[in-house]
């Protein structure tokens, strides 16, 4: 009886862990999905924005800013940086073939990574959660970290806010219309490139926010962006390119699968998310919630 209860608690904890991680993956992937859906732009620097968010949070906290302050300021800084990059460099490349997008953004990612190593060094850092979120909660025999519960609740609120932004605002309407037919939007006297810039900045901001939230869980190190980029592409492929709900569903699937498999089969936990991606592609080449491209 006690052993069975222990096993149930272990798997319940892993499922809840997976939901929290999956919501982080959603924040990371939704920006990538929006950017590709709207701009048809393949952004391999997306993971670098995630790492910049984590490092910005570390630097702010090291200078005496509270974690809550860093949670607000760091993503804004990343979004502003990405907007300047888009306005100054990327805007000239939208009409070029995807190969140019890949080469340029890969180069940008490497430049950002090397700049991080030059400034902060190759060794990682830890970011402590705020004192209010550093304990655990107990429901009978079930024990769970407060920060992970906060992560689930906070990212759920963010998901709702993003959905309202995309579905209930003029900017969201322009983003969705631009993803369908950018020429028609231009005929309506809407500056398509301005919309593109805001969409790109929004995607980088959500990636930076995911980096801030992930910092207390995994720490901060220079190569974290590449791992995040691969996960983001897996989530987008499973959920469907350009789909907000697909990014949410894909993030939850990847997070829960990865978390549960880390208990069932630790050596194959990483591999199973790619197996899931292959199975989805075989059954639905456009992803679970994607439209035919």
| Domain ranges (residues) in the chain | 2-283
Q: Are 21 and 262 in contact (CB under 8 A)?
A: no
pLDDT > 90 fraction of the chain, expressed in percent and rounded: 53
Selected residue with higher pLDDT from 188 and 271: 271
Residue 68: predicted pLDDT: 95
The beta-strand segments (E) located in 140-209 are: 142-145
pLDDT tens-digit series, residues 86-121: 888 887 787 778 788 888 999 999 999 999 999 999
What is the C-alpha R_g of the chain? 19
pTM value is: 0.91
Does the pLDDT of residue 226 top 70, yes or no?
yes
Least confident range of 108-117, 135-144, 241-250, 282-291: 135-144
Does the pLDDT of residue 36 top 90, yes or no?
no
For the segment 70-89, the average pLDDT, to the nearest whole number, is: 94
Residue 5: predicted pLDDT: 58
Q: Which CATH architecture has domain 2-283?
A: Orthogonal Bundle (1.10)
Confidence label for 219 from pLDDT (cuts 50, 70 and 90): very high
- What distance in Å separates the CA atoms of residue 236 and residue 287, rounded to the nearest whole number? 8
Q: Which two tokens stand for residue 266?
A: 């630790």
Mean pLDDT of the chain: 87
Q: What angle do CA 189, 194, 199 make, to 5 degrees?
A: 120
Buried b (16+ CB within 10 A) or exposed e, 79-113: bebbbebbeeebeeebeeeeeebeebbbebbeebb
Residue 66: predicted pLDDT: 94
The dihedral sign for the CA sequence 151, 155, 156, 158: positive
Confidence label for 266 from pLDDT (cuts 50, 70 and 90): confident
- What distance in Å separates the CA atoms of residue 27 and residue 15, rounded to the nearest whole number? 18
């Amino acid at each position: 009886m006690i052993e069975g209860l222990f096993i149930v608690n272990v798997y319940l904890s892993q499922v809840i862990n997976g939901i929290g991680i999956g919501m982080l993956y959603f924040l990371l992937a939704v920006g990538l999905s929006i950017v590709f859906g709207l701009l048809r732009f393949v952004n391999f620097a997306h993971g670098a924005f995630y790492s910049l968010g984590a490092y910005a949070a570390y630097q702010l906290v090291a200078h005496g800013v509270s974690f809550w302050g860093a949670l607000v300021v760091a993503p804004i800084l990343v979004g502003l940086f990405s907007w300047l990059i888009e306005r100054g460099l990327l805007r000239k490349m939208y009409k070029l073939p995807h190969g140019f997008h890949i080469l340029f953004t890969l180069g940008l990612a490497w430049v950002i990574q090397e700049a991080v190593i030059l400034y902060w060094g190759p060794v990682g850092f830890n970011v402590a959660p705020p004192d209010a979120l550093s304990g655990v909660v107990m429901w009978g025999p079930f024990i769970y970290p407060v920060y992970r519960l906060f992560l689930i609740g906070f990212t759920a609120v963010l998901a709702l806010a993003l959905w309202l932004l995309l579905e209930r605002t003029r900017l969201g309407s322009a983003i969705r219309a631009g993803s369908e037919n950018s020429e028609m939007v231009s005929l309506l006297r809407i500056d398509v490139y301005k919309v593109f810039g805001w969409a790109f900045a929004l995607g980088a901001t959500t990636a930076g926010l995911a980096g801030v939230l992930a910092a207390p869980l995994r720490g901060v190190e220079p190569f974290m962006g590449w791992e995040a980029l691969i996960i983001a592409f897996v989530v987008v492929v499973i959920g469907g390119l350009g789909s907000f709900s697909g990014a949410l569903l894909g993030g939850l699937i990847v997070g829960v699968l990865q978390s549960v498999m880390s208990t069932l089969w630790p050596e194959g936990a990483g591999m199973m998310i790619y197996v899931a991606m292959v199975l989805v592609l075989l059954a639905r080449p456009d992803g679970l919630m994607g439209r035919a491209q």
